[in-house]
Structure 1
Amino acid sequence: MKLALFGENRLGVVTDDGAGGLVDVTAVLPAHDPDPVTAGWWRALCRDFHALRAQLEAAAKAGPALPLDGVRLRAPVLNPSKIIACACNYRDHVTEMHDVQQRTLGHVESWMMDFDVFLKAPSSISGPADDIVLPAEVVAAGQEIHHESELVIVIGSGGRDIPEDTALDHVLGYTVGLDITVRSAADRSRRKSYDTFSPIGPWVTTADEAGDPADFQIDLVRNGDDHRQHVNTRDFITPVAAIVSYASRMMTLLPGDVVFTGAPPGVGPIQAGDSLETRISRLGAMTLRVAR
């Protein structure tokens, strides 16, 4: 099932990879509050999805379907308690970061070349219809701002100290994300937490429909013909189940939490006026404009 948020944070089910449109299933929810600050209904849906699934499927079949080009899709996550992001999860990206850091910092921070997790501000989330807005002070300082197209996990039931062999049972589904990053000497969380620096979309594909998370093809194309990123998640250093288990040993994962799984190789600078098309097989695609 493909779950989308649209309009005034209403819940829709996307049919036929979007070709058949979107059906509003908000009425199925036990409680719905469009206020994005509270968002308890969304977190409850992530936690209770399996109990609600049959009702959602029935409502989606009953229709009617709305054309996707007639609605404004929102980020398909709502006010998560945290965004967890992975660093250095592809060996080729680790290699390229030596050159990136040498160019942008004048030296290589060796401690940053190991896999780990860090936090991004939830307020950095934006949706598939929103622009990526470059911070004026960063642009004025001449610092590079890079795209990082990534597989994103949305947590379902959550938990703490989750065993790796059952970790995928705690995943609601997957979506497409961009981890926009300032290249500077500042802390990762600071460089990656500006507003609009976590575009997510176009919808969440539930884990059962998405299939094997070790076989997603990730691509990013800049300005229509500059194919910068092309990688498969089978190349992860730390696979999805291990990421979820590892993160849960440090912090309790709550329903609706978001996990960026790490940048593939091919990261590069973006500037105002660019168009970024990012897509992941079986999950969808979104095209975003870069603005100032």
Structure 2
Amino acid sequence: MRLALFDDYRLGVVTGDGVVDVTDALPWPHDPDPLSAGWWRRLCRDFADVREALEKAAELGRPVRPARLLAPALNPSKIVASASNYADHVAEMHDVQERTLGGVVSWMFDFDVFLKAPSSISGPQDDIVLPDAVVAAGQEIHHESELVVVIGAGGKDIPEESALDHVVGYTLGLDITVRSAADRSRRKSYDTFSPLGPYLVTADEVGDPAGLDIRLSVNGEERQAVHTSTMITKVPAIVAYASSMMTLLPGDLLFTGAPPGVGPIHRGDVLDTGISRIGTMRLTVR
């Protein structure tokens, strides 16, 4: 199933004809305030309990037109992002660091996780906004197209062998990044630096998260093309590792790492990105 958030934070199911509003099929109140959004986190946690009702509502309903798609995430307690999770990306970062930092910072080539601000989330129909001060300073700002995990039933110290049982679904995300010597969390947390979309695709529909193709082009020129099977640390291990340090809560997001082919973006650029079995986004930079 493909779930969408649209217009005034309504819940939709994506069908062949468009987005069908199924908000009224939820067995609990729908609070449209994105700052509370408890209904969304409850949906992530208890999706199996309401799936049948949502499917029936989608069958009976009519598509909403037009519908403005929003990011398929509401006020997660945290965004956990993975660093250095594709070998070819680790290799390319030597040259990137030499150019942008004046030298190599070797500890950054080891896999680990860090936090991004939830306020950096934007949707599939929003622009990526480059910070004036960063642009004025001449610092490079890069795209990173990634598979994003959406946590369903959260937990602490989740075993790797059962980690996928704690995933409600997946979406497509960009980890927009300022290349500088600043802390990762700081230079990746500007507003609009975590575009998500177009939908949350449930885990059963996506299948094996190690069986997906990720692509990104800028102004029609392909820059990133990778298969998720080449991740150094696979999705179950990421979930287990992150949960060994922090309790993962329903609706939390896990970015799984940048594929190779990262590069600078500038005002006016158009980014086309997609992940097989999940969807595509077209984003403009301003």
Report the TM-score when normalising by structure 2: 0.99
What's the CA shift string for 1:248-281, capped at 9, x where partnerless? 0000000000010000000000000000001000
SS class of match (1:139): helix
Q: Aligned residue for 2:224?
A: 229
What's the CA shift string for 1:48-88, capped at 9, x where partnerless? 10000110111011111224xx1100000000000000000
Question: Is 1:257 the equivalent of 2:252?
Answer: yes
Question: Is 1:98 the equivalent of 2:91?
Answer: no
What RMSD over aligned residues (CA atoms) do the two structures have, in Å?
Answer: 0.5
Moved over 2 A (4+): none
Q: Aligned residue for 1:242?
A: 237
What's the CA shift string for 1:116-163, capped at 9, x where partnerless? 000000000000010000000000000000000000000001100000
CA distance in 2, matches of 1:223, 1:34: 36
Q: Aligned residue for 2:25?
A: 28
Q: Aligned residue for 1:189?
A: 185
SS class of match (1:133): coil
SS class of match (1:146): strand
The within-5 A match list for 1:1-292 is 1-16=1-16, 20-29=17-26, 30-67=28-65, 70-224=66-220, 226-291=221-286
CA distance in 2, matches of 1:206, 1:131: 26
| Alpha-carbon offset, residue 172 of structure 1 | 0.6
- Which amino acid in 1 is paired with 2:71? A
| Alpha-carbon offset, residue 94 of structure 1 | 0.2
CA distance in 1, matches of 2:128, 2:180: 19
What's the CA shift string for 1:227-257, capped at 9, x where partnerless? 0000000000000000000000000000000
| Alpha-carbon offset, residue 15 of structure 1 | 1.0
CA distance in 1, matches of 2:114, 2:236: 17
- Which amino acid in 1 is paired with 2:262? V
SS class of match (2:91): helix
Report the TM-score when normalising by structure 1: 0.97
- Which amino acid in 2 is paired with 1:13? V
| Alpha-carbon offset, residue 28 of structure 1 | 1.3
- Which amino acid in 1 is paired with 2:239? V
CA distance in 2, matches of 1:223, 1:182: 20
- Which amino acid in 2 is paired with 1:14? V
SS class of match (2:245): coil
SS class of match (1:248): helix
Structure 2 unaligned residues grouped into runs of 5+: none
Q: Percent identity?
A: 71
CA distance in 1, matches of 2:64, 2:24: 15
Q: Between Structure 1 and Structure 2, how many residues are aligned?
A: 285
CA distance in 1, matches of 2:131, 2:63: 38
